[in-house]
Amino acid sequence: MTNERTTKVKPRRPYIHVIKSLSQVLKINREVETPIWVAGQADHDHWGEWPIRITIWNIFKGAGGEHFYNDFRMLSFQSDILMIQEALLSRRSLHDLTPLGFGVVHSASYERADRLRDGVMTISRVQTQGDPQRILCKYPEPVLKTPKVALVTFYQLGVLRPSLMVVNMHATLFRSIKRAVEELDHLIALLPVHDGPMIFAGDFNTFTPRYFQAICSKLESLGLSYVSVPDDPRRSLDHLDQLFVRGLTVSEIEVDTRVHSSDHFPIRATIHLPPLS
């Protein structure tokens, strides 16, 4: 991974973008027709023995303009799986964000008044196995009642290995710790039964150590382990995006502070499959 760095100060959301976004969610459609969109053609139908380079990134709805597209292309080139949150898309922009050689799955949280769909998106160089699953979070955001969502996808690891489950989550922003735990209980209850390796990552909105510890304790019940970032440059209030794994080894992980087209820095990690016994 690169060691090049610019300023580590997290970009902030311009108020004009926040106001425009809020104006579009005063009236939303929660019962989205075809809530999962699929695009692209992945280069591979299963993983080989090579490491899996993963990127986790809340893209702030792509509001970074051309800077965002440049960053997205760079991170796609350097990744095998991208787990994206706040992916605000039309059909056309879905294809704009489908890199050559990748399969893309977008799971909508809701549809806005302008017909754009907000949600999460998992992009992979390996084709998904079976049907992706969309799980709405138990509690919507207060006041505007916009729901958040998780996306579950599976990937073949080869004939002699179990499949890989990938859970891409964007948790509710405003909720109590009790509700954060209930949200995970709700999600875990709806997950497919799976004994193999797992990646569980995304924007957990863990603003305080107490939120984070509650989330960690709950995910440990699935055998998932938190992957800490050495010398994490983020402020304590910005520890929102996390990576948990089961049955996998992480050799490298970093917060990529070069990227300033969103108010979240991407997390990049290199993951290895266990050796065949």
Angle between helices 209-220 and 177-190 (to 10 degrees): 20
Q: Looking at the domain assignment, is residue 4 inside a domain?
A: no
What CATH number is attached to the domain comprising 180? Answer: 3.60.10.10
Percentage of the chain lying above the pLDDT 90 cut = 71
**Which of 5-9, 66-70, 158-162, 266-270 is predicted with the least confidence, judged by mean pLDDT?**
5-9
pLDDT top residue among 49 and 101: 101
Q: Is residue 11 part of a domain?
A: no
Rg (CA), the chain: 17
Are the beta carbons of 121 and 93 closer than 8 angstroms? no
Q: Please report which confidence band the pLDDT of residue 5 belongs to, taking 50, 70 and 90 as the band edges.
A: very low
Q: Give the pLDDT confidence score for residue 3 in this predicted structure.
A: 46
Q: What is the pLDDT of residue 235?
A: 85
Mean pLDDT for 170-193 is 93
What is the pLDDT averaged over residues 204-212?
Answer: 90
What's residue 164's pLDDT?
97
Tell me how far apart the terminal alpha carbons of the chain are, to the nearest angstrom.
29
CB 54 within 8 A of CB 243: yes
For 142, the enclosing helix (H) or strand (E) is none
Q: Please report whether residue 8 resides in a domain.
A: no
Structure token pair of residue 177:
């710790």
194 residue type, one letter? H
155, part of any domain: yes
Instruction: For residues 215 and 213, give the distance between their C-alpha atoms in angstroms, rounded to a whole number.
Output: 5
In a domain, 248, yes or no: yes
